[in-house]
Amino acid sequence: MSDSIPTDPAESGPVAPSPKPARARAKAAVKPASASKARAASAQVGAVSAAAAAAAGSSELSSAPPRPENVSIHQGGADRVDADSVHISQGGVTTATARAIEVRQGGIANARADDIAVSMGGVALARADRVSVEMGGLGMAIAGEVRVTQGYARSIFARETRIDQGLVGTLITGRAVVERTSGVFLLVAGRVDGPVKAVLDWRGALAFGAAFGIFWGLLRRR
Protein backbone atom coordinates (compact mmCIF):
# COMPACT_ATOMS: atom_id res chain seq x y z
CA MET A 1 0.00 0.00 0.00
CA SER A 2 1.64 3.20 -1.19
CA ASP A 3 1.89 6.45 0.94
CA SER A 4 -0.05 9.38 -0.36
CA ILE A 5 1.76 12.67 -0.87
CA PRO A 6 -0.25 15.63 0.43
CA THR A 7 -0.97 18.27 -2.14
CA ASP A 8 -2.63 20.83 0.20
CA PRO A 9 -0.13 23.33 1.72
CA ALA A 10 -2.13 23.43 4.92
CA GLU A 11 -1.58 19.67 5.43
CA SER A 12 2.18 19.88 4.89
CA GLY A 13 2.77 21.81 8.20
CA PRO A 14 4.06 25.37 8.94
CA VAL A 15 6.08 27.14 6.31
CA ALA A 16 9.52 28.61 7.30
CA PRO A 17 9.44 32.44 7.54
CA SER A 18 11.02 34.47 4.82
CA PRO A 19 14.36 36.19 5.72
CA LYS A 20 13.20 39.57 4.28
CA PRO A 21 11.51 40.86 7.49
CA ALA A 22 14.72 40.19 9.39
CA ARG A 23 16.65 42.40 6.96
CA ALA A 24 14.00 45.08 7.34
CA ARG A 25 14.39 44.98 11.09
CA ALA A 26 18.16 45.20 10.72
CA LYS A 27 17.82 48.29 8.54
CA ALA A 28 15.43 49.85 11.04
CA ALA A 29 17.95 49.25 13.81
CA VAL A 30 20.62 51.10 11.82
CA LYS A 31 18.53 54.31 11.50
CA PRO A 32 18.89 55.48 15.14
CA ALA A 33 22.66 55.16 14.86
CA SER A 34 22.72 57.32 11.74
CA ALA A 35 20.46 59.90 13.46
CA SER A 36 22.79 60.09 16.46
CA LYS A 37 25.74 60.62 14.12
CA ALA A 38 23.86 63.45 12.43
CA ARG A 39 23.14 65.12 15.76
CA ALA A 40 26.79 64.78 16.79
CA ALA A 41 27.90 66.32 13.50
CA SER A 42 25.48 69.24 13.89
CA ALA A 43 26.72 69.79 17.45
CA GLN A 44 30.30 69.93 16.19
CA VAL A 45 29.30 72.44 13.52
CA GLY A 46 27.56 74.59 16.15
CA ALA A 47 30.63 74.50 18.38
CA VAL A 48 32.84 75.55 15.48
CA SER A 49 30.43 78.41 14.63
CA ALA A 50 30.39 79.61 18.25
CA ALA A 51 34.17 79.56 18.40
CA ALA A 52 34.36 81.53 15.16
CA ALA A 53 31.87 84.10 16.48
CA ALA A 54 33.86 84.48 19.71
CA ALA A 55 37.06 84.95 17.76
CA ALA A 56 35.40 87.58 15.57
CA GLY A 57 34.10 89.43 18.64
CA SER A 58 37.52 89.43 20.29
CA SER A 59 39.10 90.73 17.11
CA GLU A 60 36.53 93.57 16.97
CA LEU A 61 37.26 94.50 20.60
CA SER A 62 40.98 94.44 19.99
CA SER A 63 40.55 96.65 16.94
CA ALA A 64 38.55 99.30 18.92
CA PRO A 65 40.52 102.51 19.40
CA PRO A 66 42.05 102.94 22.87
CA ARG A 67 40.79 105.62 25.24
CA PRO A 68 42.96 108.75 24.96
CA GLU A 69 44.79 109.93 28.06
CA ASN A 70 44.54 113.70 27.59
CA VAL A 71 42.16 115.76 25.47
CA SER A 72 42.58 119.55 25.22
CA ILE A 73 40.06 121.81 23.48
CA HIS A 74 41.00 125.44 22.87
CA GLN A 75 38.62 127.79 21.09
CA GLY A 76 36.69 124.88 19.70
CA GLY A 77 33.93 122.45 20.46
CA ALA A 78 32.99 118.78 20.49
CA ASP A 79 29.85 116.73 20.88
CA ARG A 80 31.27 113.96 23.08
CA VAL A 81 34.64 113.53 24.77
CA ASP A 82 35.78 110.42 26.66
CA ALA A 83 39.30 110.47 28.09
CA ASP A 84 41.29 110.20 31.29
CA SER A 85 41.80 113.97 31.48
CA VAL A 86 39.87 116.74 29.69
CA HIS A 87 40.95 120.40 29.51
CA ILE A 88 38.66 123.00 27.95
CA SER A 89 39.71 126.58 27.36
CA GLN A 90 37.38 128.97 25.57
CA GLY A 91 35.44 126.06 24.14
CA GLY A 92 32.37 123.95 24.65
CA VAL A 93 31.47 120.26 24.90
CA THR A 94 28.07 118.62 25.00
CA THR A 95 29.05 115.51 27.01
CA ALA A 96 32.37 114.89 28.76
CA THR A 97 33.37 111.77 30.69
CA ALA A 98 36.78 111.55 32.34
CA ARG A 99 38.62 111.14 35.59
CA ALA A 100 39.50 114.82 35.75
CA ILE A 101 37.80 117.71 33.94
CA GLU A 102 39.07 121.28 33.94
CA VAL A 103 37.09 124.12 32.38
CA ARG A 104 38.41 127.65 31.98
CA GLN A 105 36.30 130.19 30.15
CA GLY A 106 34.29 127.39 28.61
CA GLY A 107 31.22 125.28 29.16
CA ILE A 108 29.96 121.70 29.33
CA ALA A 109 26.36 120.58 29.13
CA ASN A 110 26.84 117.19 30.87
CA ALA A 111 30.03 116.39 32.78
CA ARG A 112 30.82 113.20 34.68
CA ALA A 113 34.18 112.67 36.38
CA ASP A 114 36.00 112.12 39.66
CA ASP A 115 37.11 115.77 39.83
CA ILE A 116 35.52 118.73 38.06
CA ALA A 117 37.09 122.19 38.31
CA VAL A 118 35.45 125.22 36.71
CA SER A 119 36.98 128.67 36.52
CA MET A 120 35.12 131.51 34.80
CA GLY A 121 33.01 128.94 33.02
CA GLY A 122 29.88 126.89 33.49
CA VAL A 123 28.54 123.35 33.66
CA ALA A 124 24.86 122.55 33.28
CA LEU A 125 24.96 119.11 34.99
CA ALA A 126 27.99 118.02 37.00
CA ARG A 127 28.26 114.57 38.56
CA ALA A 128 31.50 113.85 40.37
CA ASP A 129 33.15 113.07 43.67
CA ARG A 130 34.47 116.64 43.91
CA VAL A 131 33.20 119.76 42.16
CA SER A 132 34.74 123.23 42.52
CA VAL A 133 33.56 126.45 40.89
CA GLU A 134 35.38 129.77 41.00
CA MET A 135 33.79 132.81 39.38
CA GLY A 136 31.59 130.46 37.39
CA GLY A 137 28.21 128.81 37.41
CA LEU A 138 26.56 125.44 37.94
CA GLY A 139 23.14 124.33 36.83
CA MET A 140 23.00 121.23 39.01
CA ALA A 141 25.75 119.46 40.93
CA ILE A 142 25.45 115.93 42.33
CA ALA A 143 28.65 115.17 44.18
CA GLY A 144 30.32 114.15 47.38
CA GLU A 145 31.99 117.54 47.91
CA VAL A 146 31.11 120.86 46.29
CA ARG A 147 32.92 124.18 46.65
CA VAL A 148 31.57 127.45 45.26
CA THR A 149 33.80 130.54 45.36
CA GLN A 150 32.38 133.80 44.06
CA GLY A 151 30.05 131.83 41.86
CA TYR A 152 26.48 130.72 41.45
CA ALA A 153 24.82 127.30 41.62
CA ARG A 154 21.18 126.69 40.94
CA SER A 155 20.91 123.29 42.73
CA ILE A 156 23.42 121.36 44.80
CA PHE A 157 23.00 117.86 46.21
CA ALA A 158 26.12 116.89 48.12
CA ARG A 159 27.49 115.28 51.23
CA GLU A 160 29.48 118.44 52.10
CA THR A 161 29.26 121.93 50.58
CA ARG A 162 31.52 124.93 51.05
CA ILE A 163 30.40 128.37 49.92
CA ASP A 164 32.63 131.44 49.85
CA GLN A 165 30.87 134.60 48.67
CA GLY A 166 28.55 132.54 46.53
CA LEU A 167 24.88 132.29 45.75
CA VAL A 168 22.93 129.02 45.72
CA GLY A 169 19.31 128.48 44.78
CA THR A 170 18.66 125.06 46.38
CA LEU A 171 21.16 123.45 48.71
CA ILE A 172 20.55 119.96 50.10
CA THR A 173 23.63 118.74 51.91
CA GLY A 174 24.78 116.86 54.94
CA ARG A 175 27.05 119.71 56.03
CA ALA A 176 27.17 123.30 54.83
CA VAL A 177 30.24 125.41 55.54
CA VAL A 178 29.97 129.11 54.78
CA GLU A 179 33.27 130.97 55.05
CA ARG A 180 32.11 134.46 54.10
CA THR A 181 28.83 136.19 53.35
CA SER A 182 26.80 134.04 51.00
CA GLY A 183 23.16 133.59 50.09
CA VAL A 184 21.01 130.46 49.84
CA PHE A 185 17.34 130.51 48.90
CA LEU A 186 16.36 126.99 50.09
CA LEU A 187 18.63 125.27 52.59
CA VAL A 188 18.24 121.73 53.87
CA ALA A 189 21.32 120.64 55.81
CA GLY A 190 22.16 118.38 58.70
CA ARG A 191 24.74 120.86 59.97
CA VAL A 192 25.48 124.49 59.11
CA ASP A 193 28.72 126.30 59.99
CA GLY A 194 29.14 129.98 59.23
CA PRO A 195 27.06 133.10 58.57
CA VAL A 196 24.72 131.82 55.90
CA LYS A 197 21.68 133.84 54.86
CA ALA A 198 18.94 131.40 53.91
CA VAL A 199 15.62 132.73 52.69
CA LEU A 200 14.00 129.37 53.55
CA ASP A 201 15.27 126.60 55.79
CA TRP A 202 13.67 123.17 55.92
CA ARG A 203 10.85 124.43 58.17
CA GLY A 204 10.16 127.35 55.88
CA ALA A 205 10.29 125.00 52.88
CA LEU A 206 7.61 122.78 54.41
CA ALA A 207 5.39 125.78 55.16
CA PHE A 208 5.95 127.17 51.67
CA GLY A 209 5.10 123.83 50.09
CA ALA A 210 1.88 123.50 52.10
CA ALA A 211 0.79 127.05 51.27
CA PHE A 212 1.60 126.59 47.59
CA GLY A 213 -0.39 123.32 47.53
CA ILE A 214 -3.47 125.04 49.01
CA PHE A 215 -3.13 127.95 46.59
CA TRP A 216 -2.79 125.64 43.61
CA GLY A 217 -5.83 123.64 44.71
CA LEU A 218 -7.94 126.78 44.89
CA LEU A 219 -6.84 127.82 41.40
CA ARG A 220 -7.84 124.46 39.93
CA ARG A 221 -11.34 124.73 41.38
CA ARG A 222 -12.03 127.96 39.53
Average pLDDT over residues 111-138: 95
Average pLDDT over residues 94-123: 95
Average pLDDT over residues 140-145: 94
In the prediction, which pLDDT does 154 show? Answer: 94
In the prediction, which pLDDT does 24 show? Answer: 45
Q: Looking at 8-22, 45-59, 117-131, 177-191, which range is the least confident one?
A: 8-22
> Bigger pLDDT: 14 or 139?
139
Q: What is the pLDDT of residues 165-198, one digit of tens each?
A: 999 998 888 899 988 888 888 888 888 888 876 6
In the prediction, which pLDDT does 198 show? Answer: 66
The beta-carbon contacts of 160-165 under 8 Å, at least 24 apart in sequence, are: 161/189, 163/196
Q: What is the pLDDT of residues 40-58, one digit of tens each?
A: 555 565 555 555 555 555 5
Query: Residues of the chain with pLDDT > 70: what percent?
Result: 59
> Bigger pLDDT: 217 or 94?
94
> Bigger pLDDT: 93 or 203?
93
Mean pLDDT of the chain: 76
Give me the half-sphere count of Cα atoms (radius 13 Å) on the Cβ side of residue 125: 7
pLDDT at 138 over 90: yes
Average pLDDT over residues 13-31: 48
In the prediction, which pLDDT does 221 show? Answer: 63
In the prediction, which pLDDT does 56 show? Answer: 55
pTM above 0.85, yes or no: no
Average pLDDT over residues 60-85: 80
In the prediction, which pLDDT does 177 show? Answer: 92
Q: How confident is the model at residue 11 (pLDDT cuts 50, 70, 90)?
A: very low
> Bigger pLDDT: 65 or 164?
164
